[in-house]
Amino acid sequence: MVISFVKQRISRELVYQLAVFGVVGVSATLTHYFVALFSHEWAQVALYYANIMGYCAAVAISYFGHGKLTFRRELNWPVFLRFAIVSLTTLGLSELILLALETWLAVSHRISLAVVVCTIPVITFLLSKLWVFRKS
């Protein structure tokens, strides 16, 4: 009876975290896109700078959204540093995967991008759950 309750509780928590992780992720992605688009088209910021502005806005949405909503943790400087490390590492990893698949293995860009968008969120979720927003 107790084991069944624990399994059910873990399962519910994980389903909640995965669902909220997805909502926060989509929100951050849309924020990135529209901040970059607005900055470039309306504020006349160079595209690459506009993209960085969008990325920074998305990082803020992700940090607060995942910290407070997905994993329900207290946010502080050490948590932010771990979050930034994961964010930059997964960004670099996504670029490396694209390079490896497209350049070295001659995989089409559509499949390469599909691999990135299917693997990076899983890696990010696991690193966020197990390291960035881990329970004290």
Structure tokens at 56: 């920074």
Smallest CA-to-CA distance from 34 within 124, 108, 43 is with 43
Q: Does 106 score more than 80 pLDDT?
A: yes
pLDDT digits (tens, 9 = 90+) for 32-90: 999 999 999 999 998 889 989 999 999 999 999 999 999 999 999 999 999 999 999 99
Average pLDDT over residues 94-112: 90
The span from the CA of 87 to the CA of 54, in Å, is: 14
Cα–Cα distances (Å) from 73 to 9, 70, 76, in that order, read: 18, 9, 9
How many other CB atoms are there within 10 angstroms of residue 118's CB atom?
A: 9
**What's the pTM?**
0.81
* 108 three-state secondary structure: coil
